[in-house]
Amino acid sequence: MALDRVRGKSMLWKLRDGAARFEHSVRQGMATKLYDMAVPTFLQTARAVGGFLEKAADHCGATGIDPNDLVTARLYPDMAPFWFQIECVDNYSVYGIEAMRTGTWQPPGLVQVVPFADLQARIAQSISALEAFEPDEVNAWSGKALDIAITHVGPDPTSFTSETFFLSFLLPNFHFHAVTAYDILRTYGTPIGKRDYEGQLRTHLSVQHVGIVQTNLPNRRST
């Protein structure tokens, strides 16, 4: 009986140790790589922005609105115009990732008022630039220390890692401008909804971390 209890305790400890090792290996395996965290996330929304710009152009054609009137439209008088929102979608995604490479936040100067079609082309270029980033290249910047000067934050550089720069600065600003562009189009009656903003959802990461598996969900307007 005593020997059985000893054997039972030994087996229990082995099971616990095995479970702990398994949990650790699962956690290690599920760690999200920098590329998977950043690039597909930006691409999902950048493609969605391209989609609702196309719907806005179609809506203008159907209703007789000049799409170029949208370029200077604002959600509220003291907010930046539509063209600014679209340029910032590009700046906070493509040039944000470039800042991880260079250690310097230097988006290009604002082009300002351009034809609506040029804004569509700008987003198409953003998508192409994001698609050109290689996983191994981006993942090599994981944990990189960055001292980034951000004008609207303060005169002194802010210390980040690549991950915190993406999560706490790039991503909130990127979505702020993308959703403001969406809201401006809604005020002009463009028939878009939540599913248009969500874009194509990702169901899981690829094993090789070189792409994403996506699921097409039915598009429906939100209220």
Report domain extents, the chain.
33-215
Q: Determine the pLDDT at residue 23.
A: 45
| Residue-wise pLDDT tens digits, 86-119 | 999 999 999 999 999 999 988 888 788 999 999 9
Residue 6 has pLDDT above 50, yes or no: no
Q: Determine the pLDDT at residue 150.
A: 87
| Residue-wise pLDDT tens digits, 139-193 | 999 999 999 988 888 888 999 999 999 999 999 999 999 999 999 999 999 999 9
Q: Determine the pLDDT at residue 156.
A: 87
Residue 81 has pLDDT above 70, yes or no: yes
φ, ψ of residue 213 in degrees (nearest 5): -95, 130
Contact (Cβ atoms closer than 8 angstroms) between residue 41 and residue 171: yes
Q: Determine the pLDDT at residue 24.
A: 47
* Residues contacting residue 204 through CB under 8 Å, at least 6 positions apart: 212, 213
* Residues contacting residue 154 through CB under 8 Å, at least 6 positions apart: none
What DSSP element (H or E) covers 9? helix 2-30
Top-tier CATH class for 33-215: mainly alpha
Q: Determine the pLDDT at residue 195.
A: 95
| Positions of E strands within 66-162 | 145-148, 158-161
Q: Give the Å distances, CA to CA, from 49 to 44, 98, 133, 159, 181.
A: 9, 21, 20, 30, 8
